[in-house]
Chains A and B, each alone.
Chain A
Amino acid sequence: MEGFTHLIPFAAAHEVLRQGRRHLTLVRMTPDLIYDQLIGMGAADRLIFSWGGNPGVGSLHRLRDAVENGWPQPLLLEEHSHAAMANAYEAGAANLPFAVFRGYIGVDLPKVNPRIRSVECPFTGERLAAVPAIRPDVTIIHAQRADREGNVLLDGIVGVQKQAVLAAARAIVTVEEIVDRLDAPGLNAVVLPSWTITAIAAVPGGAFPSYAQGYYRRANGFYTQWDEISRDRERFRTWVTQNVLQQGPDAFRAYSPRAR
């Protein structure tokens, strides 16, 4: 489930929780609140990530509780830097076995992550960092819109979503709306052809409390509130029960000004 602050697939993550999926390996550069929720509910065995905080606020308390105290279950970490994961997604999309880049120089992560290795440039002899390509079984993203043929458009901060979709065996996309014509704007639109996508669901508001450029803004206030909600195990569970397990995808409609 990717989305670099923008277009984070909250509605899809909540559906994964409702379906009671367990033993997941979660992959994401910035786990953000959705992985805090999945980890806190015990849905994940393993996390591959590069920055696990609540942006601008502080800790992800459920992630911390899992790592520090094994609650509700232990979580195996495979930790990278952003550059490594961005390169690893790109390698996955390019159907390469690994990514090569100039990184991890003089730092400790390679000592604790055996999947960070190095290769020698065959032309110059330079040692370069190597990490395995990321090839998810399934990538889930949220996008602004799809047309009736299933072509998908996202724009604004596009993160690594294109790479994550093309690296995956299957891709599921939730969108703000389904339209007759995509009408790609002049910004930096990414268009994913329908044949790169496995399934599309229209879920207006589905990125809340992150945002969908051109539809609604980031609810920074909720990110701040999450710090308190997630700090306490019981309060967290009550929140998830009331706001995820006892709800459906339509609950997100309230956050989309256009769908309301």
Chain B
Amino acid sequence: MDQAPAGSWTANEMMTIVAARALVSRDVCFVGIGAPSAACNLARLTHAPGITLIYESGTIGARPTVLPLSIGDGELCETALATVSVPEMFRYWLQGGRITVGFLSGAQMDRYANLNTTVVGPYEHPKVRLPGGGGAPEIAACCQQVFITIPMSQRTFVERLPFITSLGHGTGQGSREALGLTTRGPTRIMTDLCVLAPEPGTCELVVTSLHPGVTREAALAACGWPLRFSDRLATTAEPTAQELQVLRDLQTRSATAHRDAH
């Protein structure tokens, strides 16, 4: 496939594209809002046309033409195969074990892919009050596996989370099993600099692939813990011209639609 000219894409575009590549057509994917939604719809519009996208508002099999601003935009319902109530969504579909991939983002993440979207600072007197967990605590526990897309920086990749909103691999290998979970938890983390995955045996996140043009030093500098690299470190394939075109068209359509929403 044609590669886009080098340097003709942004780090954010690279992040969305590499996140989209993680999905396959047979996935049933619980979609978080924001970056996950862009990645999931890019996958649907490129290599994974059969993917089932589920939004927590109750829409099953949504095929929006523009990226929704909220998880409950009308187009999700209009294009969905079925729309169910919110209790049904969380009880039958999520807790029922019907979802293959949960796609999450977060404000902060630690080396075991635990996420914080609740507070910065102490819970009772927070420095920054974040929106909270929403569906994430149970998405992280109930989906067969979890993908996370999150921009990488010292602020987002932290040594110690002030609050665990949703569980990744807890304190390392064996944590999930000890809590009775049989799902795999986070298996892949897509950032603007690299892709990370839990290391077999420890579950600590290690870099498995650096994006084109990104150095080890750049990744180290953007991480709040002493970041390690896989022995088989790869370079992420560059965005193809088609991936970039579809993503940009989608984002242009979405921006226009949200501007004249009324």
Q: Is the CB of B83 within 8 A of A188?
A: yes
Given contacts A50-B134, A51-B133, A159-B85, contact A220 B258 (CB under 8 A): yes
- What is the interface size of chain B, counting residues whose CB is below 8 A from a CB of the partner? 62
Q: How far is the CA of A176 from the CA of B185 in the complex (A)?
A: 44
B33, B69, B83: the one within 8 Å of A187 (CB): B83
Interface size bracket, A side: 35 or more
Given contacts A56-B33, A157-B57, A163-B85, contact A106 B167 (CB under 8 A): yes
User: Considering the complex, which residues of chain B in the window 127-171 have a beta carbon less than 8 Å from any beta carbon of chain A?
Assistant: 127-138, 141-142, 163-167, 170
Chain B 66-86: CB-based contact to A (< 8 A → 1; otherwise 0): 001111111011100011111
Q: Is the CB of A81 within 8 A of B70?
A: no
Given contacts A5-B73, A83-B137, A213-B77, contact A56 B68 (CB under 8 A): yes
Chain A 197-231: CB-based contact to B (< 8 A → 1; otherwise 0): 00000000000010101001111111110000000
* Interface 9-residue window, one of B21-29, B176-184, B205-213, B225-233: B176-184
Q: Is the CB of B95 within 8 A of A56?
A: no
B33, B34, B68, B136: the one within 8 Å of A81 (CB): B136
Q: Is the CB of A159 within 8 A of B70?
A: no
Q: Contacts of B87 on A, CB cut-off 8 Å?
A: 86-87, 89-90, 160, 163
Q: Contacts of A53 on B, CB cut-off 8 Å?
A: 130-132
Q: Contacts of A107 on B, CB cut-off 8 Å?
A: 133, 137, 164-167
Q: Is the CB of A109 within 8 A of B86?
A: no
Q: Contacts of B78 on A, CB cut-off 8 Å?
A: 213
Q: Is the CB of B69 within 8 A of A81?
A: no
User: Considering the complex, which residues of chain B in the window 185-201 have a beta carbon less than 8 Å from any beta carbon of chain A?
Assistant: none
A172 close to chain B: CB less than 8 A: no
Main secondary structure of the interface of B (DSSP, over half): loop
User: Considering the complex, which residues of chain B in the window 86-131 have a beta carbon less than 8 Å from any beta carbon of chain A?
Assistant: 86-87, 89-91, 94-95, 118, 123-124, 126-131
Q: Contacts of A30 on B, CB cut-off 8 Å?
A: 134
Which chain B residue has the least Cβ–Cβ distance from A113?
Answer: B123
B239 close to chain A: CB less than 8 A: no
Q: Contacts of A255 on B, CB cut-off 8 Å?
A: 262
Q: Contacts of B260 on A, CB cut-off 8 Å?
A: 221
Q: Is the CB of A218 within 8 A of B261?
A: yes
Q: Contacts of A188 on B, CB cut-off 8 Å?
A: 82-84
**Minimum Cβ distance to chain A for residue B80 (Å):** 9
B65 close to chain A: CB less than 8 A: no
Q: Contacts of A180 on B, CB cut-off 8 Å?
A: none
A55, A63, A159: the one within 8 Å of B33 (CB): A55
A29 close to chain B: CB less than 8 A: yes
Q: Is the CB of A106 within 8 A of B175?
A: yes
B41 close to chain A: CB less than 8 A: no
B59 close to chain A: CB less than 8 A: yes
B33, B83, B132, B261: the one within 8 Å of A217 (CB): B261
**Minimum Cβ distance to chain B for residue A67 (Å):** 4
Q: Is the CB of B72 within 8 A of A4?
A: yes
* Interface 9-residue window, one of A97-105, A139-147, A236-244: A97-105
Q: Contacts of B257 on A, CB cut-off 8 Å?
A: 220
Q: Is the CB of A219 within 8 A of B261?
A: yes
A82, A158, A218: the one within 8 Å of B74 (CB): A218
Q: Contacts of B61 on A, CB cut-off 8 Å?
A: none
A108 close to chain B: CB less than 8 A: yes
Q: Is the CB of A67 within 8 A of B129?
A: yes
A156 close to chain B: CB less than 8 A: yes
Q: How far is the CA of A209 from the CA of B73 in the complex (A)?
A: 12
Chain B 45-57: CB-based contact to A (< 8 A → 1; otherwise 0): 0000000000011
Q: Is the CB of A55 within 8 A of B70?
A: yes
Q: Contacts of A89 on B, CB cut-off 8 Å?
A: 87
Q: Is the CB of B133 within 8 A of A102?
A: no
Q: Contacts of A112 on B, CB cut-off 8 Å?
A: 123-124
The 4 closest A-B pairs by CB, nearest first: A5-B72, A53-B131, A55-B70, A51-B134
Known: A159-B57, A217-B261. 9 other contacts (CB 8 A): A5-B73, A50-B134, A64-B128, A105-B181, A106-B176, A108-B164, A190-B85, A217-B74, A220-B258
Q: Which residues of A line the B interface, CB within 8 A?
A: 4-6, 29-30, 49-53, 55-57, 59-60, 63-64, 67-68, 79, 81-83, 86-87, 89-90, 101-109, 112, 126-127, 156-160, 162-163, 187-188, 190, 209, 211, 213, 216-224, 255
